[in-house]
Chains A and B, each alone.
Chain A
Amino acid sequence: MNKVVEKEFFSEKVVRLVVEAPLIARARKAGNFVILRVGKKGERIPLTIASADAEKGTIDLVAQVVGVSTSKLAELEPGDYITDLVGPLGKPTHIEKVGTILAAGGGVGVAPLLPIVEAFKKAGNRVITVLAARSRDLIILEDQMRQWSDELIVMTDDGSHGRKGLVTAGMEEILQREKVDECIVIGPAIMMKFAALLTGKYKVPTQASLNSIMVDGTGMCGACRVSVGGKTRFTCVDGPEFDAHHIDFDEMLMRLGGYREEEKEALERYHLQHKLVEK
Chain B
Amino acid sequence: MGLNSFYLKQERDAAWRTELRKKTKNKDRMLINRVSMPELEPEIRVNYQDREVNRGLTRDMAMQEAIRCMDCANPTCIEGCPVSINIPKFIKNIERGEIQQAASVLKETSALPAVCGRVCPQEKQCEAQCFYVQKLNKPAVAIGHLERFAADYERENGEMSVPETAEPNGIKVATVGSGPAALSFAGDMIKKGYDVTVFEALHEIGGVLKYGIPEFRLPNSIVDKELENLQKMGVHFKTNFIVGRTASFDDLKEQGFQAFFIGSGAGLPRFMNIPGENYNGILSSNEYLTRVNLMGAQYDETDTPVLHGRRVAVIGGGNTAMDSVRTALRLGAEKAMIVYRRSEEEMPARIEEIKHAKEEGVEFHNLCNPLEYYGDEKGRVSGMKLMRMELGEPDASGRRRPVPMEGSEFEMDVDLVIVAVGVSPNPLVPSSLKELSVTKWGTIVVDENDMQSSIPEMFAGGDIVRGGATVILAMGDGRRAAEKMDHFLQGKYAVN
Chain B hits for A43, CB < 8 A: 295, 302-305
Interchain CA distance A44-B296 in the complex, whole Å: 12
Q: How far is the CB of B437 from chain A (nearest CB, A)?
A: 20
- Closest A residue, CB atoms, query B244: A27
Within the complex, what minimum Cβ distance (angstroms) separates B90 from chain A?
A: 35
> Interface code A61-94, partner B: CB below 8 Å = 1, 0 otherwise?
0000000110010000000000111111100000
| Shortest distance between the CB of B431 and any CB in chain A (Å) | 8
Question: Per-position contact with A for B287-331: 1 when CB-CB < 8 Å, else 0?
Answer: 100110001100011111111000000000000000000000000
Among A72, A216, A262, chain B packs the most CB atoms within 10 A around the CB of A216
- CB contacts (< 8 Å) of A24 on chain B: these are 246
Q: 8 Å CB contacts to B: which residues of A12-28?
A: 23-24, 27
A205 at the interface (CB under 8 A from B): no
Known A220-B426, A221-B287; contact A263-B280, beta-carbon cutoff 8 A: no
B323 to chain A, nearest CB (A): 15
* B162 adjacent to chain A (CB < 8 Å): no
A126-176 contacts to B (CB < 8 Å): none
Measured CA separation A125–B159 after assembly (Å)? 66
Q: Is A237 an interface residue (CB 8 A)?
A: yes
Complex contact B269–A221 (CB within 8 A): yes
Question: Are B286's CB and A222's CB within 8 A?
Answer: yes
* Docked-complex contact B290 and A218, CB < 8 angstroms: no
Residues on B with C-beta less than 8 A from A27 are: 245-248
Within 8 A of A (CB), among B263-297: 266-269, 271, 273, 277-281, 283-284, 286-287, 290-291, 295-296
| Segment among A48-56, A106-114, A253-261 that sits at the interface with chain B | A253-261
Interface centre among B246, B296, B378 (most CB of A within 10 A): B246
Partner of A259, one of B269, B279, B305: B305
Question: Who on chain A is nearest to B269 by CB?
Answer: A222
Rounded to whole angstroms, the CA-CA distance of A89 and B281 in the bound complex is 26
Interchain CB contact under 8 A, B286 and A86: no
Given contacts A43-B302, A254-B280, contact A216 B201 (CB under 8 A): yes
Q: Are B290 and A220 in contact (CB under 8 A)?
A: yes
A23 and B283 CA atoms in complex are apart in Å by: 33
> Which of A41, A84, A85 makes the CB contact (< 8 A) with B303?
A41
Residue of B nearest to A90 (CB): B245
Chain B interface size, as a band, is 35 or more
| Contact of A266 with B278 in the complex, beta carbons under 8 Å | no
B245, A222: Cβ atoms closer than 8 Å: no
Known: A23-B247, A83-B203, A86-B240. A216 touches B305 (CB 8 A): no
Q: Which residues of A197-244 are within 8 A (CB) of B?
A: 215-216, 218-223, 225, 227, 232, 234, 237
Residue ID in chain B nearest A265 by CB atoms: B305
CB of A219 within 8 A of CB of B428, answer: yes
Q: Give the distance in Å from the alpha carbon of A221 to the alpha carbon of B273 in the complex.
A: 16
**Quick one: closest B residue to A232, CB to CB?**
B271
Main secondary structure of the interface of B (DSSP, over half): loop
Interface of A is mostly: mixed
Give every chain B residue within 8 A of A237 (Cβ-Cβ).
267-268, 427-428, 431
Check A41–B301 contact: CB distance below 8 A. yes
Say yes or no: is A124 at the interface (Cβ < 8 Å to chain B): no
Contact A84 B240 (CB under 8 A): yes
Q: B379: CB under 8 A from chain A?
A: yes
Q: Could you tell me which residues of chain B, from 24 to 65, have a CB within 8 Å of some CB in chain A? A: none
Q: Which of B236-259 contact A (CB under 8 A)?
A: 239-242, 245-248
B202 at the interface (CB under 8 A from A): yes
- Contact between A44 and B286, CB atoms less than 8 A apart: no
Contacts of A215 in B (CB 8 A): 287, 290-291, 295, 304
| Complex contact B271–A23 (CB within 8 A) | no
Give min CB distance, B480 to chain A, whole Å: 25
Residue contact B379 to A257, C-beta cutoff 8 Å: yes
Q: Which residues of B contact A259 (CB under 8 A)?
A: 305, 307
Among A86, A88, A234, which residue has the most Cβ atoms of chain B within 10 A?
Answer: A86
Chain A residues within an 8 Å CB radius of B427: 219, 237
Asked if B428 and A218 sit within 8 Å, CB to CB, the answer is: yes
Q: Are A220 and B245 in contact (CB under 8 A)?
A: no
**Contact between A219 and B267 (Cβ–Cβ < 8 Å)?**
yes
Whether B267 lies near A220 (C-beta < 8 A) is yes
CB distance from B414 to the nearest CB of A (A): 16
A235 smallest CB distance to B (angstroms): 12
From B239, B266, B283, B302, give the contact of A41 (CB < 8 A).
Answer: B302
Q: Mark A258-278, 1 if CB is under 8 A from B, else 0.
A: 110011001001000000000
Given A219-B267, A223-B283, decide whether A232 and B278 contact each other with a Cβ distance below 8 A.
yes
Q: Which of A37, A41, A89, A258 contacts B242 (CB 8 A)?
A: A89
A42 at the interface (CB under 8 A from B): yes
A234 to B286, CA, bound (A): 14
* Cβ-based interface call for A96 (8 A): no
Other-chain contact of B378, A41, A83, A257 (Cβ < 8 Å): A257
**From residue B442, how far is it (CB to closest CB) to chain A in Å?**
10
B246 contact set on A, CB distance < 8 A? 23-24, 27, 86-88
12 A-B contact pairs sorted by A residue (CB < 8 Å): A27-B247, A41-B303, A44-B304, A87-B242, A216-B202, A216-B211, A218-B242, A219-B428, A221-B286, A221-B287, A223-B283, A262-B306
In the A-B complex, the 3 residue pairs with the smallest Cβ-Cβ separation, listed nearest first, are A262-B305, A254-B379, A221-B287
Q: Which residues of A come within 8 Å of B, CB atoms?
A: 23-24, 27, 37, 39, 41-44, 68-69, 72, 83-89, 215-216, 218-223, 225, 227, 232, 234, 237, 251, 254-255, 257-259, 262-263, 266, 269
